[in-house]
Structure 1
């Protein structure tokens, strides 16, 4: 069973591979790496990650339904026992927003929740996604860790400038309440559980201004776990780049070690 799981929104797998993601994959000790926003077909993703695949990584991917949008993947040290793309949604299963893989008794999912935009059709789309995906997560059983870019900062501790973003997509009351419902249904935000009561650790910083240098970020990349695996999480780190010019995405990998 995997013991180290990492998640990263690549912000375009082809660009990320050329800027440092391949070197990171060669160095990481993770057993499973979940990727979001590949923005590439399965063929393009495989080509971009060719050196990593040659080194032994196994790729499972769900390509975007629209060119240049979404796309999720799972890289693993060994082939999964089973794979599922989507969660039974007529609207979203072909949009490249969810893929899961089974390793022994553990299911690992990679999700890319729509970002939304308040008072627009994009936010309506996000709410439809949350309703269907939330129902899927609550109805499931067994050991599962769902990781990825959830595009929701759950509490005031999860974004630096929360007062200025109280009416912004990603920090709306309805979105935050949705996370509450998952936690009430038995899921555990394991990164927060391991970092109680502290600001962050943030995992996304805008490329605009000096957000990265000032650590003016958002924590939107989560590991939500259900079952005994949640209690086995013993260490969680955000692998923040040492400097702005060494970033290969506007997100940083969030890595959790499970006992």
Structure 2
């Protein structure tokens, strides 16, 4: 029998700060009311916050560097197993392994196995200004794609992956595509790797349900009144295995929720 799940993902850009804002992180979590809530860019070390979400199990991944990166997942159901970015590193070979090793130390993955599916939260490395870190980004994208495909083949379970992928896939996914062409987050290289991920058997849930919807963004710069003017980018996604894409019931962008330069994205699916 199929069960309906609601998932949410949010790049909080510093969880300690969001906990103090109004509405606070706890208020937002209550509003989202998700079966699984994934966070990116928590910017925490272990023990820096004492956070309880009643009814949720917690999985954290911390960067070695203080105040940087980090992911976390809160799930109502207890996971059967958990993997982190070292599992992504295992899918990198040769020279790419050293590049992925660098990113794997930054708390970028929480992968949780449940009875019916895998849920993978990711904070993809930023290519940085002038694509200074594009080599790390390309190596990471290849290893991450292989990691996701491997999970599905190994366990015969569909994969749901979400988070900040740090790329606007197509021109419709950002306000100013012409002026940003070639910049980090909208380079041909990054967009190409996202195409490869979709071609490997994954569906962009929001764009599939809203193929022509313009002005739907999940991140806005803090500069130039970008959010007020809705000059944003859609870089936060829920992707699902193609095998369960027809079981997606809803995918939305919660631009009404503030507290970060990103807003949450959500998914409702039957599994």
TM-score by length of 2: 0.87
The 5-angstrom pairing of residues 112-131 of structure 1 reads 112-131=123-142
* Whole-angstrom CA distance in 1 between matches of 2:42 and 2:174: 24
Aligned residue for 1:64? 63
SS at match of 2:48: helix
Q: Is the 8 A contact 2:6 2:266 kept in 1?
A: yes
Aligned partners of 1:59 and 1:2: how far apart in 2?
Answer: 21
Match of 1:147 among 159, 162, 169: 162
Give deviations 1:5-34, integer Å, cap 9, x for gaps.
Answer: 110001011111111211111232210011
Is the 8 Å Cα contact of residues 10 and 16 (structure 1) preserved in structure 2? yes
Residues 102, 169 of structure 1: alpha-carbon distance in 2 compared, 3 angstrom cutoff:
same
Deviations 1:111-144 (A, max 9, x none): 0011112545422222221122122223342301
Q: How does 1:109-188 map to 2 (within 5 A)?
A: 109-141=120-152, 142-188=157-203
Look up the match of 2:94.
none
- The alpha-carbon deviation at position 42 of structure 1 amounts to 2.8
Gaps of 5+ in 2: 90-96
Q: CA deviation at 1:253?
A: 0.5
Within the alignment, does 1:26 sit opposite 2:30 as a pair? yes
CA contact (8 A) 2:45 2:67 kept: no
- Give the secondary-structure state (helix, strand or coil) at the position aligned to 2:17: helix
2:45 maps to which of 11, 21, 41? 41
Instruction: Report deviation, 1:227.
Output: 4.4
- Residue 100, structure 1, aligned to residue 104, structure 2: no
Q: CA shift at 1:88, angstroms? A: 3.7
CA distance in 2, matches of 1:181, 1:71: 25
Report the equivalent of 1:81. 80
117-126 vs 135-144, greater mean Cα deviation: 117-126
Q: Secondary structure at the match of 2:233?
A: coil
Counterpart for residue 252 of structure 1: 263
> Counterpart of 1:42 in 2: which secondary structure?
coil
Mapped partners of 2:113, 2:61: distance in 1: 15
Q: Does 1:11 align with 2:10?
A: no
Q: 1:170 to 1:184 in 2, by over 3 A?
A: same
Note the aligned Cα RMSD (angstroms): 1.7
TM-score, with structure 1 as normaliser: 0.91
Alignment deviations for residues 40-65 of structure 1 (CA, whole Å, 9 cap, x no partner): 013224x1x23x2xx22211010112
Report if the CA contact (8 A) 1:188-1:225 is conserved: yes
- Work out the CA distance in 2 between the residues paired with 1:98 and 1:229: 22
- Give the deviation of 1:200 after TM superposition: 4.4
Query: Could you tell me how far apart the structure 1 residues matched to 2:164 and 2:215 are?
Result: 15
